Structure 1
């Protein structure tokens, strides 16, 4: 297996102009959706950016999705979040999410649906590994002067209810968006090489 084949297997193939335009539209959609986040507390927000990230994962695969999500995170924090600085600690969770979305949702065939258990497993991993463990550790490093299990437990306790409530919502929305007829048509139009 040569290097080009290995990269293509993971979804890092050269993109056509149409595919780049679609990617730019999805990136803009992600930034716009992010502006409509709702803060439940000063540190806990509900956002639907995962829908755009899921679509990027379905169309472009894990490597492109990770790269795009890291770029979006940097642009969002740098230009759209007041008094914030981009953090490599939080970027770890962003990169993991991109790999998970692309790894579970990327379709070799443009007209195939994403199986429900793949959506469930991806949302489980992102909710409980990335959001609860990785991002809580990153927040502890960034915002707490003391780094201990006690601080981690306290931060986790404030974040857990939101994740438990939002998990089924994220699962259902992700499943229906990824398997929407319009999304299948977009996939067939922009990724004709993926058709069987």
Structure 2
């Protein structure tokens, strides 16, 4: 097989079979359910939607993951009481989808992912999306003042949450992506 094609195939938008579309629909439903199970305080929201997003990245690659995650964000926000949809927050969602797909997608879907791959992906999501993009988006949307002082003030509680939640997200992501059921589903739906 041509190595150039293999290297860039993860960035393609492949046509999905009916079975793969059904699996994607199941992940969308799982994302809705996990979004409802989130832990929310006045300042922070802890959600387990990343598990469905990680599976999307593993099975469907960065482009499908990005498109579906942005669509999910739009639908959840506008139709299920999440407030008003924001293109600023959608940027973070889109980048998260790209990161999940770029790190987790493999031609051989049955291949286990290493601790390092998952650790780097979760770190990239945590720093780039959760801390930088989402904090800046929240500042732009909800603060009348846009300054580094306001950004840093909003970043502090989010940083604490990220430090505490990072190992939890890492362990759960590793367990979900590499468990026997997921590997069997990979073989069943993506055996080429």
Q: TM-score, normalised by structure 1?
A: 0.92
Q: CA RMSD in A?
A: 1.6
Whole-angstrom distance in 2 between the partners of 1:117 and 1:29: 26
Are 2:157 and 1:158 equivalent residues in the alignment?
yes
Runs of 4+ in 1 over 2 A off after TM superposition: 4-9
Closer, same or farther: CA 50–80 of 1 in aligned 2, 3 Å: same
Measured in 2, the distance between the counterparts of 1:144 and 1:175 equals: 36
- Structure 1 residue 111 displacement after superposition: 1.7
In structure 1, C-alpha distance between the alignment counterparts of 2:115 and 2:24, rounded to whole Å: 24
Q: Provide, for residues 140-184 of structure 1, a one-character-per-residue CA deviation record: whole Å limited to 9, x for no partner.
A: 000000000010010001211111100000000000100011000
In 1: Cα distance, 2:75 partner to 2:6 partner: 31
User: Does the CA-based 8 Å contact 2:77-2:85 persist in structure 1?
Assistant: yes
**Corresponding residue for residue 185 of structure 1:** 184
Match of 1:72 in 2: 72
Find the aligned partners of 1:107 and 1:183 in 2 and give their Cα distance.
14
The equivalent of 1:51 in structure 2 is 51
Q: Secondary structure at the match of 1:110?
A: coil
Structure 2: runs of 5+ lacking an equivalent: none
Unaligned runs of 5+ in 1: none
Structure 2 equivalent of residue 123 of structure 1: 122
Given the two structures, how large is their TM-score scaled by the length of structure 2? 0.94
